[in-house]
Each structure stands twice: as C-alpha cells, then as structure tokens.
Amino acid sequence: MFNTYFLKSISAYALSGLQIIVLSFLLGLSFAQAENLKPFVLASTSTGNFSEAVADTKSKLTTGGFEVIGEYAPYDGANIIIVTSDALTSNAKATEFGGYGAVQRVAVTDRDGTIQVTFTNPIYMANSYRMKGQLEDVSAALKSALGEQEAYGSKNGLPGKDLQDYHYMFGMPYFDEPDVLSEHGSYDDAVKNVQAALATNKGGVSKVYMLEIPGKKQTIVGVAMTKDMSSDATIMKEVDFKDIRATAHLPYEMLIHEDGKVYALSAKFRIAISFPDLSMAGDHSFMGIMASPDAIKKALTLASGGGGESKASGGFDF
C-alpha cells in the first residue's frame, strides 16, 4: 500500500511539474510576443486647440533634449515635427547608411476632434535600418518628453532580428536594395545638385529638412511629395485608415552618400516597414497604390538632380 501511494504521489508531482513546464513555455511565448516591436508609439490623446497642441509638443521636445530641424503639414489636421539629437547623429555616424536613422518623426494629428501625439519607435527603426546601436536611450527620452500610451502599427509586431532582414514578401526589396536616384562627381556636387533641384520643386518635390551627419559625408533630406501617385496625401489616404493614425510615416527621405550617389529606400520597403500588416489586395491595400513605387522613384530622381528617366522598379505586385 505504501508503495502504491508513493507511486501515485510521484505521478501527481510529475504531472504538476509537466504543467509547470507547459505553463512556463506558454508564458515565455507570451513574453516573447510582448517583446516584439511595432513601428509607432502613441504618446497621448487630448482635445483642444490643434495649433496649441503642436506648439506644446515642440516645447516638450526641445525641453527633452531634442533639436527640431523641420516641420511638415501634408494635409489638414496633420503636422509632423522632425527631430534629431546627439545620440541619434552619433549612432548614424557609426553606422553604414546610418543617415536614415539620424532623425525621428513626431506627429500631431486631429482625428475627428481627438488630438493624437505619436512618434516613430526608435528601436523599431534602428533595427529596420540596421543601426549599430538600438537607440534605447532615444526611445526613453521621447517617452519621457511626450508620454507613452501604447505601441501600435502592427497587431503582433516583429522581432528585432526579423526587422534587420525585413522584406514585405518574396520578390520585394530589402533595406540594402535601395533605389539609386542619381550619380554625381562628388559628395559636394551631389549636395549642390539636390539643393538646386529642390529649390525649383522638380518632380513636385520640396525640402522639409536637410541634416548633414557630423563627422561623416552623409546627408539625409526629408521631402514633401505632391504630384500624382507620388503624392503623400494620396498614398496616406489609402494606407493610413486605422483609428490611431500613422502620420509619422512621413516625410519620405533621400540620402546623399559620400560616394556621390543619391539614394532612397525603395517605396516597396519604405512604405511596408511602416505598414507591415497592410494587405496586398482589397480595400486599403498595396494594390490601391500599385503605381506609387515607380511614381515616387521618378519624382525623387528629378529631386536628386538626376535626369527625367528612371528605371522602373515595379509596383506592389507579386
């Protein structure tokens, strides 16, 4: 009887141990999913005067140690504030093609009377742009300055290692497969030609900001696009339809590199990284902006000081 009781007790404890292992595994999966990254952060929501909200947001950013280097109002009820900091530019300097990560974008959006303050998630962007540092300090500084309610922009998010090798689907470009917009004799020539093209609004493209990375011959240029299927407003009307707006997706950028070339992330990467859950077809899908990748590349080629011709990169298709 003792032996039978003992065996039963051992079985009970074994079962309990198995349950603990299973529970731990499930908790581990849950924790891992919670650690996945999402492209944007909702800092706060409020009601009130939109212009005052914009001014208040800018004040909080400067007090929090950020430098405002540009602003962009692509359509009514949307204002984007572009910021940088020593931490951002230092990380950009240490990273190949690091200029893409030298700024963060903060948006103030009026959504049916509710003012949303949102910003790009620095850690998500650092992984997407294969930055040397993860920008945890920048993330903490933005949250301290503006607040934090929730990360959003993807239902489940993506692990950092997947973002570092991200592409939307088979056949779509990776981060290291950008569009080469134009080639110039030198870095300085490229800067001058880009400035001249933007001053005359070539391709319907104008400058929002321009930031030279200290200690590195690399300049990031944020641009506003207004023409046809490259238009920021047209594209956002199709893809930015959820309750919490992703206004901080804008503005698009060009990168002037030390090799004298001007690059831009392919629209098939640049749009997808901000909207990774967007469907390929149906309402509010990539099919609705199928002509945009080529239109964007053509517009940016002109804005980069290049000729009017650009090799088609194809639309959002299989």
Per this entry, what is the length of the chain?
A: 318
pLDDT at 2: 38
pLDDT at 212: 98
Q: Which pLDDT tens digit goes with each residue over 124-158?
A: 999 999 999 999 999 999 999 999 999 999 999 99
Ramachandran quadrant class, 237 (left: phi over 0; alpha: psi -120 to 50; beta: rest): alpha
Regions in the chain scoring below 50 on pLDDT: 1-18, 20-34, 315-316, 318
pLDDT at 35: 82
Q: Which CATH class is domain 40-303?
A: alpha beta
Strand residue runs (E) in 100-259 = 104-111, 114-120, 150-152, 179-183, 205-212, 219-225, 252-256
- Domain ranges in the chain? 40-303
pLDDT at 275: 98
Answer for the pair 191, 219: CB distance below 8 angstroms, yes or no.
yes
Please tell me the distance from the alpha carbon of residue 280 to that of residue 285, in angstroms, as a whole number: 5
Q: Which pLDDT tens digit goes with each residue over 53-107?
A: 999 999 999 999 999 999 999 999 999 999 999 999 999 999 999 999 999 999 9
Please tell me the distance from the alpha carbon of residue 267 to that of residue 274, in angstroms, as a whole number: 11
pLDDT at 309: 55
